[in-house]
């Protein structure tokens, strides 16, 4: 009986390590994209996999691990923003912060920031599919599987999200 527990424990550990190896970078990039802070993204990634480990350890069946891991990360990002207070640029400038352009790549950085700000103005459903499709370069089918929705719905959200972005930049 003890060897059965040991074998189960080793199988669980190997399954977790496999999921961590496969998804940790993707989840880190997702959290970094959502928070723009490397330390916070690192912490949220760790918390995501800690929650996954706890769930696996309690015997929870994780049928679609990618979807499950993304859902944990999404919930943690939402919780993070609920807990933290956003600091406005005006408040930073009042405290003496000066925004400076870097001499290399400042135009590209500026455009990326504009795009990111525009994406963040969209509904959450559009933000997620656009991020997964164009930042993570995931297929429509992979996005559908990750979010637990149909591929058709993902395609519709991508097209509507792109249309809304065009409207914002018009």
The single residue listed with the structure tokens 């956003």 is 86
CATH class of 104-170: mainly alpha
CB atoms within 10 A of CB 169: 9
Provide φ and ψ at 96, rounded to 5°: 100, 5
* Alpha carbons 64 and 70: distance in angstroms, whole number: 10
The structural domains of the chain, with segments of one domain joined by +, span 1-86, 104-170
What is the torsion angle, in degrees rounded to the nearest 10, for the CA atoms of residue 112, residue 118, residue 123 and residue 124? Answer: 20
Q: What is the reported pLDDT for 88? A: 43
Confidence of residue 105 (pLDDT cuts 50, 70, 90): low
pLDDT score recorded for residue 2? 52
In CATH, the number for domain 1-86 is 1.10.1740.10
Q: Residue 93: which H helix or E strand, with range? A: helix 89-94
Residue 107 pLDDT: 66
Structural element, H or E, at residue 85: none
What is the rounded average pLDDT for all residues in the chain? 81
Q: How confident is the model over 65-99, as pLDDT tens digits?
A: 888 999 899 889 888 887 764 444 444 455 454 54
């Amino acid at each position: 009986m003890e060897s059965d527990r040991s074998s189960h424990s080793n199988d669980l550990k190997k399954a977790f390590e496999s999921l961590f190896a496969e998804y940790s970078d993707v989840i880190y990039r997702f959290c970094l994209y959502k928070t723009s802070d490397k330390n916070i993204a690192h912490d949220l990634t760790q918390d995501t996999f800690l929650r996954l480990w706890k769930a696996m350890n309690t015997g929870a069946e994780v049928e679609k691990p990618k979807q499950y891991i993304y859902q944990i990360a999404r919930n943690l990002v939402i919780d993070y923003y609920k807990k933290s207070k956003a600091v406005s640029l005006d408040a930073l400038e009042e405290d003496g912060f000066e925004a400076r352009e870097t001499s290399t790549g400042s135009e590209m950085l500026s455009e990326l920031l504009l795009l990111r700000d525009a994406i963040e103005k969209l509904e959450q459903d559009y933000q997620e599919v656009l991020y997964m499709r164009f930042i993570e370069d995931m297929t429509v089918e992979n996005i559908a599987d990750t979010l637990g929705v149909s591929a058709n719905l993902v395609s519709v959200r991508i097209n509507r999200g792109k249309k809304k972005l065009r409207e914002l930049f018009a």
